[in-house]
Structure 1
């Protein structure tokens, strides 16, 4: 019998208790958490949830910016067998209120900077939801409002035998409830199961070549499924390390890449476009001879990679690679289509830009490009055990992308009308996106039939210049 997500989490952390699991880089230094300490805090959170009356399947809200404590709370909720309801800290109070009401969240973990907003949500809904504050830098303000602290929860002593008991959740049990729409009508909530998570993690890990040696920079907000795939699911289960930064600025991102010796970075296209602009703005500022030499080397490395399978990017463009920390191995983009010319430029510079396509409803990625089969412009081939087909293709082979497999959600939460529209009679999920396959089975997204829930909002990911 295959292990559940939480059982794999335990096995991973137990196998490498002294290895660094998470590091938060701040202006005055860094703070790291080992896998052993992480598991200890996760278990304490899980026990405290049980002690405070959070039952199996109860929903627990989680809102705040990326932080190691966010990750441990998330995993602690799953360990308990409760359901994480991740919320956007920049969301409108009206929208957040609708999500909290629909989910019937019984407790909330809220970052210090989001406490006022969540209190406004409670006032609007008329609900008195107990709050645990995390990422706290002003204890007096938190204590004045009667909130509990993450540090107390994560340090809660556990009863004898708790650590030996199997976490209660099984593959078919709900793990996460992610909201994808506004306040008009019934909120559209995507429930992902523990089995969805394991299926997605196994498939992406196999297809994109993640290993326990990876050091991952966490940039995309963790309330999105796309970010959770790499930063939480894969990193936790394979034993990779995750770097968190305190500010989403170009300077802090580059500092994180360099000081963290980052090997893997996932982002939306806009992030990579900003990196691209920064590189080529710098080139354009150079004398003509340097610009011509740079252009020649790009052409030469493109030829070497395409014709001979040789990548001289680190040799030709040492300064560019060092700006990314000098160790970047996996560069991935998802969330919307990626400009083919920008992808070609990164290819010529010596980076392999992997593409992913999927929706929240498919646990994130449903197709990815591979290192050994990375066709520029496509979003790759289906993940292992995932089926993708084009519905009613026109003369150009374009039609709606349909997806089926163990990564697909069981159905929208308490929304039968949305479910009847989202699935075909034989169980295929309608993505709402238009696409086509080439002769070799690579998928190309050509447009949208409807708004895709996995088209992440660029606002959240635009670094400060």
Structure 2
């Protein structure tokens, strides 16, 4: 794909001219918007932003569930040289207010279900609130309960040519506030070139064409979905479909049967849940099945059969199921690999727009990422005797910096342009990248050994009845905080209710038994210096970031 300039307006202009009759952004349930229609919608909304007084460099926020209007809004903002500020739906009202103030946002587009978070917010800069679902202007002080009643105020039929606005590759296109596990959101400044170059380079890993159908299920406010799930398919004339409600399994299955997606981007949590709820029960359906699944030759046959059924569930035409965001459970990955399911692992960060390394389904390998993406420079800084160290990245996709935080930018950027990721990794003899964990979460053992809690957690999370876990160090002890699936535990022990007055005692006894079993299960599967000293019950789900990562900083000071 040859573009005169690596900017979002140039990407849109080129694609809407070349693929004008192809379907572009639509709901699964309805819609037939073409690329030509998309361009008209973007031009109309851009003209409306100009009438509101928005100029080049002004910030416009987007807080919305995924929908076609999300992409229309992002491109309309870019058309006039303004800067989009995507906000993850999981942020609290206080966090949203802080972002709007810090970024000096003048306009916010917000969807119906999220308006209640924005309704009370006022800042010195915020001038307009617009309903994303139908582009209705939201009056000042408008009640959240009445949001359904608002009528559209922006007609998408204003084709007035836009004034000449020079937009350069190095201009800021987006400021994305990360939902880090350290407790502090940073505004990552990404340029037009960062985003468009990264989207284009992703096609060197997995080619995309006009016949591809993307099903978008991850938040578009996250750069992973935005670059790979919006910009990449638009570059090559592919179709993108959105669900009009929260993507539950009940809604996803008929949607996939209808559009038969060729590409889906996901996080480990999604496929791990499918494996635990749909695949594992089949293998545990009888004593014979459990026995057959324990032995490698028969396990591989059973996994392959299950994989064929899973492919049918996904519509039967899937060629790329991308997984990124965090480490994939090794047992789940082994199943996907043996099932010949077309999964692929990618590595990147918001600060790298995001992709930096990865492979397509034909080249995946267990618990690894893959080669460095074409055009990206990557090295392991000061590797230890095993070749492990911090991953440093350089390339046209590396951010401009943290917005209004030059001191933080200097901490992670070297004078010669290397970005310090904070991730620990290594290259194998074939030059393929694998990730060990985060530097900040690594625990130093009593004899100086590096302990990676994420690796222990993946083992814990594969234990029956475990929902999630967190491994921390406290007073020299390695402690596992475990959140059990109490609903499933209680189902297994319903018969105890017949023993009047003893049910609660039996349930507590059963939990203690599970703790003991888990303790032995984990310690038989880790090296000597990664063995647990204690298992603690986490009664409530862990607090998480909007991207569903546990906020580790909240649990660093537990007392044992």
Q: Is the 8 A contact 1:63 1:89 kept in 2?
A: yes
Tell me the alpha carbon deviations over residues 157-178 of structure 1, each in whole angstroms, 9 at most, x when there is no partner.
232x44xx77632211110000
| Alignment correspondent of 2:275 | 276
Contact 1:363 1:408 in 2 (8 A): yes
- Paired residues in the alignment total 440
Counterparts in 2 of 1:380 and 1:183: CA distance versus 1, 3 Å: closer
Aligned to 2:392: 402
Instruction: Tell me which of 343, 352, 358 is aligned to 2:348.
Output: 358
Contact 1:7 1:167 in 2 (8 A): no
Residue 186 of structure 2 is matched in structure 1 by: 188
| Equivalent position of 1:37 in the other structure | 37
- Contact preservation (8 Å) 2:83, 2:172: yes
Alignment of 1:298-447 (within 5 A): 299-300=300-301, 317-447=307-437
Show CA shifts across 1:338-378 (max 9, x none).
Answer: 22332221122121321111110000111112344322211
Which residue does the alignment assign to 1:305?
A: none
CA contact (8 A) 2:128 2:138 kept: no
Report the counterpart of residue 142 of structure 2 in structure 1: 145
2:233 corresponds to which of 208, 232, 235: 235
How far 1:114 sits from its partner (Å)? Answer: 2.0
In structure 2, what is the Cα distance between the partners aligned to 1:274 and 1:169? Answer: 43
The yes-or-no answer on 1:116 pairing with 2:116 is: yes
Q: Quote the residue 1:203 is aligned against.
A: 201
CA-to-aligned-CA distance 1:193-241 (integer Å, 9 cap, x gap): 1100121011111212222221111111111101101221112111111
1:52-71 equivalences under 5 Å are 52-71=52-71
Greater C-alpha radius of gyration:
2
Aligned partner (choices 19, 23, 29) of residue 16 of structure 1: 19
Match of 2:461 in 1: none
Quote the residue 1:99 is aligned against: 99
Distance 1:195 1:460, change over 3 A: closer
Structure 1: unaligned runs, 5 residues or longer: 303-312
Answer yes or no: is 1:174 the counterpart of 2:175.
no
Q: CA deviation at 1:119?
A: 2.3
In structure 2, relative to structure 1, the CA distance for the partners of 1:185 and 1:397 (3 Å cut) is: closer
| 8 A Cα contact 1:95 1:182, kept in partner | no
**Which of the pair has the greater relative contact order for Cα pairs under 8 Å at 6+ separation?**
1
How far has the Cα of 1:37 moved from its partner? 1.1
Q: Distance in 2 between matches of 1:13 and 1:406?
A: 25
TM-score w.r.t. length of structure 2: 0.72
**Partners of 1:95 and 1:144 in 2: how far apart?**
20
What RMSD over aligned residues (CA atoms) do the two structures have, in Å? Answer: 3.2
Distance 1:451 1:184, change over 3 A: closer
- Does residue 261 of structure 1 match 2:260? yes
Measured at CA, do residues 316 and 335 of structure 1 come closer, stay the same or move farther in structure 2, by a change above 3 Å? closer
TM-score by length of 1: 0.86
